[in-house]
Structure 1
Amino acid sequence: MTAGSSRSARPGSRAAAVVTTAVLAAAALWSTAAPASAIKGGGPATTKARPYAMLIEYNGSQFCGGTLIAPTKVLTAGHCVESAGDVSTLRVIGGRTHVDGTDGTVREVASYRLDSRYGAPGYAYDAAVLTLDRPMPYRTIPVAGPKDGKLVAAGRTATVVGWGRTGPGEQATRLKQARLVISPVADCRPYTDPETDPAAMLCGLPRPGTTDSICPGDSGGPLISGGKVVGIVSSGNKYCDEQYPVSVFVRADSVAADLGIPTR
């Protein structure tokens, strides 16, 4: 099948050994294939307040995040799909604030669609959509479109949500959120590539006086501005410390058409 088309989640449909440029690039920043991370800094969040926040498990452990954009559609990072290899091993969980909880709604992945440009220079187009086997009973969130440029203007603040590490060697226990300042893509180097199309990526930096950032495994989670998903967590603070408090996102409006996602 060609990249960008819908693919079945049946076992063996995607070999675990498949590795692309974007996966290698992401792995250089953090271990995306390991049980994942959470936001450093920030504060607590709940799935009651953020019902569209989806926890993605791999082999029973928290692996990535995602965003419910339609009852059966979850937007996430492309490298979360590729790192899993066989997406039938993924479970999507809604309504679960605490990682070790048993509440919420669990769904299997029926199929997925990877952006056809995945693997481009830098980390651009690191995006995918999962189709669930049954609808989720939670409120969805719209995806920003080409006319929403003001939502990602430099200097604007946006909120990132995830279940990742909270510091070096620390594992997340609950959903967290943090406010970041949207900045020029060049401000997130060396976590962005000079060849990266700045129209396809977003850089999030801590607000003055904070060291908030994403950490390994927040991958796939949403960056929210103006009540819409404007970005998808792609890469960032490898060590989850104060050295490199940067957060890199794929612009949602740059991948929506390729993934067949309506914007509004």
Structure 2
Amino acid sequence: MALASVLFLLLLAGAARAVEIVGGREARPHARPFMASLQLSRTPGSHFCGGTLIHPSFVLTAAQCLQDIPAHLVTLVLGAHDLQSSEPEQQRFTISQVFSNNYDPEDNLNDVLLLQLDHPASLGGGGATGTRCLAMGWGRLGTRAPTPRVLQELNVTVVTFLCRPHNVCTLVPRRSAGTCFGDSGGPLICDGVLQGVDSFVIRASATRQFPDFFARVSLYTDWINSVLRTARARAPAGATWP
């Protein structure tokens, strides 16, 4: 028997609605920002189904989840770890439109559903507070110091104090270190993902009183994609495009 057929039979055996993970372990907090929680709007924390963010405006879930619950009674939460806590990483949405695919509840066929969010999610989230990131550049080695000859890099930590919503901010705990003049435009890499573009410092470099400010890349994904689409459309015929 083909492997796909075996898996299909295993999935059908006792095809009860999946409500929990058996024998699992706690995930690293906020390490899965694409994970969605479907909740009853009038009862915060009343999780009843999961989902996956597959696009800034769409979550993929199971059709059974909304079979008996009208979409207008559902709140969708992204970025959560503890559903009973009001976490700053959480993003909340209502559902603007539902796209089904001929769900057959009797045979558990086509149990997929696309939910369009009322506004786009903020992808990446700029790194959760405490995330270790890497900044780099050829900027000055101090406010009054010269620029280096070779590329420099620095481990930094994401912080929220004094930060603004459209920035990602970083510090180096217990050290006078950070980005400096000449580092502007350089990257902030968190867990292998570009989260920020070096923007500015306050007063001076590495003051230990103020964080370094990076432009939050996730806020500009639509613009970036639009520019890429325009560039691709204008590319000469036959030109290669990734």
TM-score using structure 2 length: 0.41
Structure with larger RCO (C-alpha < 8 A, sep 6+): 1
Q: Which entry has the higher C-alpha Rg, 1 or 2?
A: 2
